[in-house]
Amino acid sequence: MFLKLNQIILFSLWAFFLAIVLYPYYIKLLKRFKAGQQIRETSVTGEQSTIFTQLHQHKSWTPTMGWGLFLIIMLIMVVASFFLKKQWWISNSLLTRSETYILLFGFFSMGLIGVVDDWLNIKWVGKVKGLSAKAKLLWMFLFAGFISWWFYRKLGISYVNLWPIADKVDIWMFFPLLTFFMTVSIVNAINITDGLDGLAGGLMSIILLILAIVLFVNGTYLATTLVGILVACLVAFMFFNINPAKIFMGDSWALALWWILSTLLYILNMRMGIFIPFLIIFLLFIIDTASSFLQILSKKYLKRKLYPTSPLHHLFEYKGIPEATIVMKAWFIQGILATITLIAIFYQIGGK
């Protein structure tokens, strides 16, 4: 176990070192190609988002596509693991069918789709600056369907573990429907919450760190290594993303992280009750997404807004709370939720 832990730590440290060194050059490269964020002027429902534009206009042309460097570093780490295995310095490469095939497939495929969307958006390509909503939904539904099919048909999983409410509950053909809904919900939640400098990145760093700990305890060491690399890259990215941000993630990271989170959630569902603890640690994303969803429903059916702007973090910003204060308090709350989640999971493991 200690040898595996050393491998996880070493890969994570190398990923952090690469990211912290390369990001300044990467930011300069993005500026050279004028790959800057364009602040949206319309809301999801189509009307002018005046409040949002006023609050964030100063962020226009800040370099985006920060997730692109994550893809490069992950590729370097995977290739490096092949050479290290050939030299017998490690026992397994990071590309292993039993643990990491599906994780890396989704990470790179969804990440690349997101990068293409970001690039088209930056260059004002297309009627809606980037991939259309229909195209994004199509890809999202296809890949969400693939995850659901993989676990239901390929791995034969048809149950959810609802600890502490219930043990394994077999839901048969409804399993792919449930996982499809959860997978699509996760990507939207990440996208919606990614609205302030350092907010979503900090929250996701904490969530992924907890998942890495749980994966390690469950003996899924290679998947733990991949998550460790992601956490290391995120921490390095945060150094350049905290207010005032020098770079943004873009849409690509939500798509890639959505795949990672969803897949890990279903892998851990096979081994233990993770669904309800996950709802605890993901609570801030759920609340933020719910506030946006309720605003949309109110405007569509009641023809009025519930609050001046949404989601919730933008409402706090509109009320005069400094952006850095909102982010730091969100991190603090996320830390508490992570602690509760970890205690609950270890309590569960100890009781078996």
Q: In 87-198, where does DSSP find H-type helix? A: 101-122, 133-149, 174-193
- Consecutive H or E run containing 32: helix 2-32
- Please say if the pLDDT value at position 130 is more than 50: yes
**Least confident among 57-66, 192-201, 269-278:** 57-66
Residues in the chain: 352
Q: Is 160 helix (H, G, I), strand (E, B) or coil?
A: strand
Give the pLDDT mean for 216-233. 93
Instruction: For the chain, give the mean pLDDT.
Output: 84
Tokens of 86: 């050939």
User: Does residue 63 have a cis bond before it (omega within 30 degrees)?
Assistant: no
Listed residue (235, 47, 270, 74) closest to 156, CA to CA: 270
Is the pTM here over 0.95, yes or no?
A: no
The percentage of the chain sitting over the pLDDT mark of 70, rounded to a whole number, equals 87
Average pLDDT over residues 1-18: 88
Q: By the 8 A CB rule, do 133 and 139 touch?
A: no
- Kind of pairing, strands 159-161 and 168-170? antiparallel
Tell the residue number behind the tokens 């807004």, with chain if given: 305
Alpha-carbon distance of 104 to 91, in angstroms, equals: 19
**Residues 291/310, Cβ–Cβ less than 8 Å:** yes
The string of pLDDT tens digits covering residues 235-254 is: 999 999 988 888 888 766 77
> What's residue 124's pLDDT?
60
Q: Which of 109, 281, 303, 298 is nearest to 210 (CA)?
A: 281
Q: Confidence class of residue 350 from pLDDT cuts 50, 70 and 90?
A: low
Listed in sequence order, the residues at least 6 apart from 186 whose beta carbon sits closer than 8 Å to its beta carbon are 258, 261, 262, 282
Rounded CA-CA distance 276/132 in Å is 34
Secondary structure of 195-217 as H, E, C letters: CCCCHHHHHHHHHHHHHHHHHHH
Residue 46 has pLDDT above 90, yes or no: no
User: Can you tell me the distance from the alpha carbon of 252 to that of 82, in angstroms, rounded to the nearest whole number?
Assistant: 26
- Cα distances from 209 to residues 51, 134, 290, 334, in angstroms, run 35, 33, 25, 12
Residues 69-124 pLDDT 10s: 999 999 999 999 988 988 878 888 898 877 788 889 888 888 888 777 777 777 66
Say yes or no to pLDDT of 45 above 50: no
Residue 326 half-sphere exposure toward CB, CA atoms < 13 A? 24
pLDDT for 180 beyond 60: yes
Please state the rounded mean pLDDT for residues 54-67. 66
Helix (H, G, I), strand (E, B) or coil at 37: coil
